[in-house]
């Protein structure tokens, strides 16, 4: 095959973790639809003894168009990873350890394709060394907010100017272009500056400036401040492409979960609160009990996607919806299912979230503030209850509740527990009070501009076209 016959190909490298794989895959689907005839190969790092891919992951991968193919890289074994390391650090190191396998895969692809670029997940930035090595363009895909990206660029300066822990700063941190954030609500990786996690995160933030471009899953209408800051000439940033909103339109296995939609069909509009902590969020047993009793106490209809409890808030992150704790329903308070059988529906592990949020019966969404979930809420105009668990979710909760004003945030007690009375109170506020109408109005406005951005002449296609031009110059 001569060079003219070879398809133009972009190699995409996610980090382990269903939410990161899902988001970057949806991005890949967008770029293969561009008129440039771009193909995509997904090289997926894996971790041994981490369970097989979840049903949702398999369904997404099996539904890919012919212009996207994927390969699971040889697994990284436990002895190659630090023991009891935070999941974010584990994911990053797994990608770093996979660089030899990625190099081998790239060399194989050169015989059949004209490689032009590598797009790596934010946790997979170490793989971009191969782009320089092979004279390819290098891009970072940020599946989170533009606010998070702005913070990443700002962190080295913050590190140089602040003494002590950020959570002890008396004044909120002013991230360029963003609403001020209390130090305690900055992302989890920066909460202990003496940790290896912090040092790795800081190094990753410094590496961002060496990429040829950064793709962020956001759009100007939802984050005008940080996007203006990131795209303004003279700031010294790489080219930033706000390619959002990128969300899943369904994973292909929704028919297994018709019970959710059938149950919702029997309820009046805006009457049900949907409760889900994403593909990896978990609650402690005490917190699960308080949430259950709070839902019951609220008196409101609910649809709750439940996972077995854990003391780690992101225990299921790397394994997606695989459940190592047995049937999660057995962890519910005694008699809860019987007492609430006319009030709510509890679904183990997974539910068709995109379809649920689009259902007329849904009046609110209690979410961990993962950006994929938030965007799905926005695209369906559903008011939010913000219950952040890990990563940058506390920062996102500040953005949603204090900047956009489309969410109410739960308040924890001095021990970090959100008590049942608080759960019931915030649900009633969202579903009954005057502020609900204001939140719904603001969320509907966001839905409208987000929908417009996805139209043929919308901002997403224009930004993706600019990205494609950048690609084809290589």
Say whether pLDDT at 130 is over 50.
yes
Looking at the DSSP assignment, which residues form a beta bridge with residue 366?
275, 385
Angle (nearest 5°) at CA 168 between 190 and 162: 65
**pLDDT for res 234:** 82
Band (79; pLDDT cuts 50, 70, 90): confident
Cis peptide bond upstream of 245, omega within 30: yes
Say whether pLDDT at 317 is over 90.
no
Tell me the C-alpha distance between 322 and 432, whole Å.
Answer: 36
Helices (H), 7-139: 18-32, 55-62, 87-97, 99-109, 129-133
Tell me the C-alpha distance between 63 and 41, whole Å.
Answer: 15
Candidates 197, 204, 203, 247; CA nearest to 29 is 247
Residue 286 CB neighbours (<10 A): 13
Domain pair 3-244+454-472 / 254-451, same fold:
yes
The rounded radius of gyration (Å) of the Cα atoms in the chain is 22
Q: Per-residue pLDDT tens for 287-306?
A: 999 999 999 999 999 999 99
- Token pair, residue 132, equals 């320089």
**pLDDT for res 90:** 87
Tell me the C-alpha distance between 222 and 454, whole Å.
Answer: 13
What lies within 8 Å, CB to CB, of 165 at 6+ separation is 183, 191, 192, 193
φ and ψ at residue 406, rounded to 5 degrees: -115, 10
Q: What's the mean pLDDT in 220-224?
A: 97
Q: What's the mean pLDDT in 237-243?
A: 97
Q: Per-residue pLDDT tens for 109-125?
A: 999 999 999 999 998 99
Angle (nearest 5°) at CA 403 between 401 and 405: 45
**pLDDT for res 60:** 78
End-to-end CA distance of the chain: 20
φ and ψ at residue 303, rounded to 5 degrees: -125, 115
DSSP, collapsed to helix, strand or coil, labels residue 474 as: coil
Q: What's the mean pLDDT in 437-444?
A: 95
Question: Would the pTM count as exceeding 0.75?
Answer: yes
Tell me the C-alpha distance between 315 and 281, whole Å.
Answer: 7
- Token pair, residue 41, equals 């190969």
Residue 413 CB neighbours (<10 A): 10
- Helices 420-432 and 285-298, axial angle in degrees (round to 10): 40
CATH number belonging to domain 3-244+454-472:
3.40.50.2000
- In order, the DSSP letters of 82-93 are -TT--HHHHHHH
* Topology of the domain comprising 254-451: Rossmann fold (3.40.50)
- Token pair, residue 72, equals 């699971």
Domain extents for the chain? Answer: 3-244+454-472, 254-451
Give the single-character DSSP code of 181: B
Catalytic residues, by residue number, are 20, 121
Q: What is the largest CA-CA distance in the chain?
A: 69
**pLDDT for res 158:** 98
């Amino acid at each position: 095959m001569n060079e003219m016959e070879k398809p133009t190909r972009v190699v995409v490298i996610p980090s382990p973790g269903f939410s990161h794989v899902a988001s970057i895959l949806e991005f890949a689907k967008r770029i293969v639809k561009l008129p440039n005839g771009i193909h995509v190969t997904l090289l997926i790092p894996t971790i041994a003894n981490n369970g097989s891919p979840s049903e949702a992951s398999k369904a997404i991968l099996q539904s890919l168009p012919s212009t996207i193919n994927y390969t699971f890289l040889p697994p990284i074994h436990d002895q190659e990873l630090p023991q009891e390391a935070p999941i974010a650090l584990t994911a990053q190191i797994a990608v770093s350890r996979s660089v030899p396998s990625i190099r081998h895969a790239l060399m194989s692809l050169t015989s059949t394709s004209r490689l032009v670029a590598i797009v790596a997940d934010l946790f997979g930035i170490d793989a971009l060394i191969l782009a320089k090595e092979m004279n390819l363009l290098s891009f970072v895909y940020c599946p989170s907010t533009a606010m998070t990206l702005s913070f990443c660029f700002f962190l080295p300066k913050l590190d140089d100017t602040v003494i002590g822990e950020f959570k002890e700063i008396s004044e909120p941190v002013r991230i360029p272009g963003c609403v001020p954030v209390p130090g305690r609500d900055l992302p989890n990786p920066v909460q202990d500056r003496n940790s290896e996690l912090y040092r790795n995160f800081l190094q990753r933030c410094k590496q961002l400036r060496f990429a040829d471009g950064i793709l962020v899953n956001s759009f100007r209408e939802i984050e005008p401040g940080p996007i203006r800051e990131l795209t303004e000439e003279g700031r010294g940033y790489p080219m930033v492409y706000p390619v959002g909103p990128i969300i899943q339109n369904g994973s292909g296995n929704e028919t297994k979960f018709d019970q959710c939609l059938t149950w919702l069909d029997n309820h009046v509009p805006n009457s049900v609160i949907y409760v889900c902590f994403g593909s990896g969020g978990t609650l402690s047993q005490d917190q699960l009990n308080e949430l259950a009793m709070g839902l019951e106490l609220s008196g409101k209809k609910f649809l709750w996607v439940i996972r077995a409890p854990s003391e780690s808030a992101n225990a299921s992150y790397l394994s997606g919806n695989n459940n190592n704790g047995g049937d999660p329903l057995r962890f519910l308070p005694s008699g809860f299912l019987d007492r609430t059988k006319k009030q709510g529906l509890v679904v183990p592990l997974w539910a068709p979230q995109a379809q649920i949020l689009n259902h007329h019966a849904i009046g609110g969404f209690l979410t961990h503030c993962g950006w994929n979930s938030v965007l799905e809420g926005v695209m369906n105009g559903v008011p939010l209850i913000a219950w952040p668990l890990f990563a940058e979710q506390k920062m996102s909760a500040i953005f949603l509740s204090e900047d956009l004003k489309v969410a109410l945030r739960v308040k924890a007690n001095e021990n970090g527990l959100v008590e049942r009375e608080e759960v019931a109170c915030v649900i009633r506020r969202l579903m009954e009070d005057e502020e609900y109408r204001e939140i719904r109005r603001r969320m509907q406005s966001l839905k409208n501009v987000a929908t417009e951005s996805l139209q043929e002449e919308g901002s997403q296609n224009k930004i993706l076209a600019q990205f494609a031009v950048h690609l084809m110059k290589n």
